[in-house]
Amino acid sequence: MTKKKTTTQNIVSLSLPAIIDMSFDTLLGMADTLMISWMIGNAALSASGFVNQIIFTLIFVFTAFNTGGTALISRSFGEGNYTRLNKTVSEVVFLNLLLGLLITAACYIFKDQIFSIFETSEEVQLYIGRYFKWIGLSILPMFLSFSFAASLRGSGNTSTPMKITLIANLFNIAGNYILIKGLFFFSPLGIEGAAIATLAARWLTVAMYAAILLDLRKKVHLHLKDMLPTKAIFAPLFRISFPGAVEQALIQGSFIAVNVIISTLDTTSEAAYRILINLESISYMPAVGISIAAATLTGKALGENDPEAAYLTGKQSTFLGLSWGVFMAAMFLLFLNLWPRLFTSDQGVINAIIPVLVLSAFLQPFLNAMLVMSGVLRGSGNTRIVMQLSFLRVWLFNVPLAFILIRLLGFDLKGAWYAELISYALFCIVMFAKLMQRKWTEIKI
């Protein structure tokens, strides 16, 4: 068997559980969107979208320690240094616990100021308040579960997070159905029911991870006495993670900026935007899974002092990401009229979605390839170049173009995707050139 074929098989075998895991999360997001859209209405759908945008922005920015943690864990895994690996796991979890508590408190203290940035109707604002009252309490368990999952994936265990996600998501979907409509002995709670079901599922996730990682008999485990930060772990963790945190702040900040621009349109456009985001998440979740596998295998190869294997992993995983993007582009175009009807029967919303979905189809190859290449570079510890390219893409191209096309030239929702397509196409080429230069294979942690 050739080395290229073996590398591809390793990527696929490691990424498959992660892809299934991400697919479960995507299906949960779709189920939430479907249930809120069909059972409550467009205003509730818009409200939940705005709230989740803020929450995920904060979580993706402040859980950037998990990026550095994964890089350190995968290096230690490649070196066979389980003492350092488990110390890293413990410190990463502690930092996520601390940040989760602080961010939760800040969100409740400043909730009125945070959500005032969106120009929405009174009905949407009412739903925002009711939804956030409960969903905000799920911020802490999300911080913890993200750190647990990153620790296991960094050590090559992608199957356990997949199983935990499946169980939690089935629980969440059942809880949604029962609490939104009020089945059995429960009263109908509407959008608050959706939030409570999600909150319960996220704490269930934490309980399952804790039961596994607190078992000291396992090679990879969490030890409470090792949780306090030490310079030996925290210094490289911060050095690798800080650019990732800045990158996420830039990307998530751009999402909020585009959300603010979209919020100036009507409720139909806002609802269409939420559905399009869900549809697009279907397309790139497998690429995220490949990215996780590529980051782990890249870090492991460099830990074993095998830069050639790391480079081959980067090339093959990028090809897989690009291939998936082409496949999803074809799926979007072939079933163009079917996709929006899965989420809504509102003809106005459907009419707003279809032309944008065509643009999203052309975006897919660039989006998926770039997601995978970012994972390869992060796995090597080169988070700085990913941060720099992200800054240039989102703030010099994407957000300004979206503003010009939507607010000044009247492109409505299509303007956001024209901006995405242009920025991703350009910077995908730039990132590929960086990948081919191989300098990232020389990084020392």
Q: Report pLDDT digits (tens) over 250-266.
A: 887 888 888 788 877 87
Q: Which two tokens stand for residue 283?
A: 């397309």
Instruction: Tell me how far apart the alpha carbons of residues 45 and 38 are, in angstroms, rounded to a whole number.
Output: 9
223 to 64, 144, 356, 402: CA distances (angstroms): 21, 15, 49, 47
Angle formed by the axes of helices 414-437 and 347-379, nearest 10°: 20
CB 297 within 8 A of CB 14: yes
Task: Give which of 121, 124, 62 is closest to 92, Cα–Cα.
Answer: 62
Q: Containing domain of residue 81, as a range?
A: 3-442
How many residues are given for the chain? 445
Instruction: Tell me how far apart the alpha carbons of residues 361 and 327 are, in angstroms, rounded to a whole number.
Output: 10
CB 49 within 8 A of CB 270: yes
The one-letter amino acid at 419: A
pLDDT at 29: 66
pTM across the whole model = 0.70
Any idea of the CA torsion for 260, 58, 298, 323, to the nearest 10 degrees? -30
pLDDT at 48: 81
Task: Give which of 419, 311, 293, 444 is closest to 356, Cα–Cα.
Answer: 419
pLDDT at 418: 94
CB 172 within 8 A of CB 28: yes
Q: Which segments in the chain show pLDDT lower than 50?
A: none
Number of folded domains that form the chain:
1
pLDDT at 104: 92
